[in-house]
């Protein structure tokens, strides 16, 4: 009888442990889903804005030069907020800042649909950029926290969700144009969708608040950690490559590859598809082969892809080259954010902000530099110049101990 009771108790304890593990896994999945929804909301807002730029250009009667000048307001807003976003995450917690920033990101999006003068659009883009930077630092800090809970690489999949949101945003944009929605009606619809995502998922965010080192007051501007600077330089090279693909891929297919009109978007589309695919596969690859090896291969893929498009400027090889670039850039930024967020003695939000401050310059400077070089030496030469960045990334990885 005692033995039977013992067996019964043992089985009961086993069931309790199994039930506890299931409950824990379920809760972790809910946290991951919540964080993913904020990545999705951010990507959806940006893609929604981008999908209506041509309509707003026509509605405000903007010349290409006027539009180019106004569009600079967005990165200017991001740059303005960069020194402060990490500090705000540390002080108020990434969950609170994320609630505020994504909500305001959606508000700014809807308000841009109301612009009737160019200065109103510029102001809206500036605020959109400020909220976007806060959102970027806060959501990646949540990504780092979630990765720590899972104790495995999942950051790349979060960025994959952002890329997927870009596709969804483009599809919604096509639908809104088909049913003749104005930009404001379109933006407001998406804003309500984002508000719903925020309301449903906010309570499942990780409510952590980092304390400054040794509980001392940190200076507003501090000397950056050398490892973070190197991570930023790697991010610079990657985001410079991303920037030219966003802004110049269509021009390259039109002027150099010389494809018929509808195929002009093929280079950009193939690049985006492979970038999203690489991000969803990236976590498994990093787990199997290690961060260093994956980033080194990624750098080589970026260079190989760009050089292929330069030396073989025909439809099939150029498309294949742009696909390689998409794979190459897919895992680099998520990986350096993940590594930066785990830097000892520095709060994750501030560490990510430091890396972003350096790497984002590549996204800003890459496209204008391409234009300047193209004016002097031609567009093919300028793409070859950026192609060198991938090899530099592969070399620099060996300099960072945290990536080994």
Predicted confidence (pLDDT) per residue in 228-277, tens digit: 888 888 999 998 888 888 778 778 888 888 888 777 778 878 888 898 89
Distance CA 210, CA 90 (A): 5
Q: Which of 126-140, 196-210, 235-249, 353-367 has the lowest average pLDDT?
A: 353-367
Residue 300 pLDDT grade (very low, low, confident, very high; cuts 50, 70, 90): very high
> 250, 373 in Cβ contact below 8 A?
no
Distance CA 55, CA 52 (A): 5
The beta strand positions in 88-198, using DSSP E, are none
| Residue 269: Cβ within 10 Å count | 19
Highest mean pLDDT among 55-59, 67-71, 145-149: 145-149
Average pLDDT over residues 202-231: 68
398, pLDDT greater than 80: no
| Span 12-51, pLDDT tens digits | 555 666 666 776 778 888 899 999 999 999 999 988 888 7
Average pLDDT over residues 322-342: 90
Q: What is the pLDDT of residue 348?
A: 85
- Residue 261 makes CB contacts below 8 A (sequence gap 6+) with none
Distance CA 340, CA 344 (A): 9
Distance CA 136, CA 132 (A): 6
Q: What is the pLDDT of residue 340?
A: 86
What tokens does 355 get? 């890396």
Q: What is the pLDDT of residue 106?
A: 95
Residue 108 pLDDT grade (very low, low, confident, very high; cuts 50, 70, 90): very high
| Span 157-199, pLDDT tens digits | 998 998 888 888 888 888 888 888 898 999 999 999 999 999 9
Q: What is the pLDDT of residue 360?
A: 80
Residue 2 pLDDT grade (very low, low, confident, very high; cuts 50, 70, 90): very low
Q: How far from 309 is each of 306, 382, 387, 389, CA to CA, in Å? A: 5, 12, 10, 15
86, pLDDT greater than 70: yes
Q: List the one residue out of 398, 357, 387, 393 whose CA is nearest residue 84.
A: 357
Q: What is the pLDDT of residue 122?
A: 92
337, pLDDT greater than 50: yes
Average pLDDT over residues 53-80: 82
Highest mean pLDDT among 142-151, 254-263, 317-326: 317-326
What tokens does 345 get? 């003695």
Q: List the one residue out of 392, 361, 395 whose CA is nearest residue 76.
A: 361
DSSP state letters, 14-83: HHHHHHHHHHHHHHHHHHHHHHHHHHHHHHHHHHHHHHTHHHHHHHTT--HHHHHHHHTHHHHHHHHHHH
- Percentage of the residues of the chain whose pLDDT score is greater than 90: 31
Is 248 or 149 the better-scoring residue by pLDDT? Answer: 149
283, pLDDT greater than 50: yes
pTM of the model: 0.80
Q: What is the pLDDT of residue 72?
A: 81
């Amino acid at each position: 009888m005692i033995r039977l009771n013992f067996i019964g108790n043992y089985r009961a304890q086993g069931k309790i442990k199994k039930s506890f593990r299931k409950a824990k896994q379920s809760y972790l999945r809910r946290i991951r889903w919540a964080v993913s929804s904020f990545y999705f909301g951010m990507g959806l807002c940006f893609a929604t804005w981008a999908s209506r730029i041509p309509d707003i250009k026509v509605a405000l009667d903007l010349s290409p030069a006027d539009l180019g000048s106004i569009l600079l307001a967005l990165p200017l807003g991001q740059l303005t907020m960069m020194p402060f976003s990490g500090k705000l995450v540390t002080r108020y917690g990434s969950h609170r800042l994320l609630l505020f920033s994504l909500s305001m990101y959606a508000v700014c999006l809807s308000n841009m649909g109301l612009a009737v003068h160019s200065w109103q659009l510029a102001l809206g883009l500036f605020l959109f950029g400020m909220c976007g930077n806060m959102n970027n630092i806060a959501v990646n800090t949540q990504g780092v926290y979630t990765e720590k809970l899972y104790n495995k690489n999942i950051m790349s999949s979060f960025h994959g969700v952002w890329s997927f949101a870009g596709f969804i945003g483009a599809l919604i944009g096509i639908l809104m144009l088909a049913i003749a929605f104005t930009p404001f009606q379109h933006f407001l619809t998406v804003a309500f969708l984002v508000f719903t995502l925020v309301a449903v998922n906010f309570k499942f965010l990780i409510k952590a608040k980092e304390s400054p080192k040794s509980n001392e007051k940190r200076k507003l501007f501090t000397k950056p950690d050398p490892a973070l600077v190197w991570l930023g330089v790697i991010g610079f090279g990657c985001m410079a490559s991303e920037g030219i693909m966003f802004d110049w891929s269509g021009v390259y297919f039109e002027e150099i590859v010389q494809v018929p009109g509808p195929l002009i978007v093929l280079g950009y589309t193939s690049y985006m598809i492979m970038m999203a695919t690489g991000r969803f596969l990236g976590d498994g690859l990093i787990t199997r082969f290690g961060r260093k090896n994956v980033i080194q291969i990624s750098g080589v893929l970026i260079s190989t892809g760009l050089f292929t498009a330069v030396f073989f400027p025909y439809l099939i090889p150029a498309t294949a080259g742009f696909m390689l670039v998409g794979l190459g850039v897919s895992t680099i930024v998520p990986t350096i954010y993940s590594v930066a967020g785990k830097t000892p003695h520095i709060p994750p939000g501030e560490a990510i902000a430091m890396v972003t401050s350096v790497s984002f310059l590549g996204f800003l400077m890459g496209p204008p530099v391409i234009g300047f070089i193209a004016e002097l030496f031609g567009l093919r030469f300028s793409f070859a110049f950026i192609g060198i960045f991938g090899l530099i990334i592969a070399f620099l990885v060996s300099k960072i101990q945290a990536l080994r």
